[in-house]
Amino acid sequence: MRLVLSILADDRPGIVREITERVLEHQCNVLDSHMATLDGVFALNMLIEGDRQRIAALEQGLWQAAEENRYSVALRQAGPEPGAPAGEHWTVRVTAMDHPGIVNRVARFLSDRGINIERMETRSEAAAHTATPMFSVDMQVLLPAGLAHDALLQDFESLCQEYGLDGQMQPSQKREGAPT
């Protein structure tokens, strides 16, 4: 059985240790996880695997830990391990002077074509020398089988030109891990 765990908490040392100790105590296994600190807020998403009884006990232990340590917790049972998805994995990278709507425009472009965003990471930072606020987004996406690449790339280039985005879209070198 597989469980998706999401935790939000005021950041402090030891949160990952506390959560993984609960996972280990219940003899479950971490399959995948993503963690970040966003403006002082700890955020964790984790995929955990174990037998039905251990996952049920882990869920109770996580609710107890949430009360004791003031975490916000969300739990959701995941389906069985998915088979190979139909389609192709691609990488999307966009950089622009920071302004509202960048992620939404790219996400709308992708969803309108049936493209699923599987992983996404964004960053805001000042440009070297000028300190201009810059924004970048890296995505791992799954293109549906049979999508015409030439038309997709032309449409993506048009989107980037229309909104002043520096964008790249290309087949991924590998599927695993966060966007690079």
pTM: 0.80
In a domain, 97, yes or no: yes
Number of structural domains (the chain) is: 2
Tens place of pLDDT for every residue, the chain, 180 residues?
999 999 999 999 999 999 999 999 999 999 999 999 999 999 999 999 999 999 999 999 999 888 888 899 999 999 876 676 778 999 999 999 999 999 999 999 999 999 999 999 999 998 888 888 999 999 999 999 999 999 999 999 999 999 999 999 999 985 444 443
Could you tell me the residue range of the domain that residue 136 belongs to? 88-171
Query: Which tokens sit at 38?
Result: 């966003």
Nearest C-alpha neighbor of 115 from the set 84, 149, 159: 149
Are both 67 and 94 inside the same structural domain?
A: no
Nearest C-alpha neighbor of 24 from the set 46, 7, 45, 6: 46
In a domain, 73, yes or no: yes
Are both 73 and 144 inside the same structural domain?
A: no
Are both 61 and 99 inside the same structural domain?
A: no
CATH code assigned at 74: 3.30.70.260
Among 59, 78, 97, identify where a domain stops.
Answer: 78
Q: Contact at 8 Å (CB) between 119 and 172? A: no
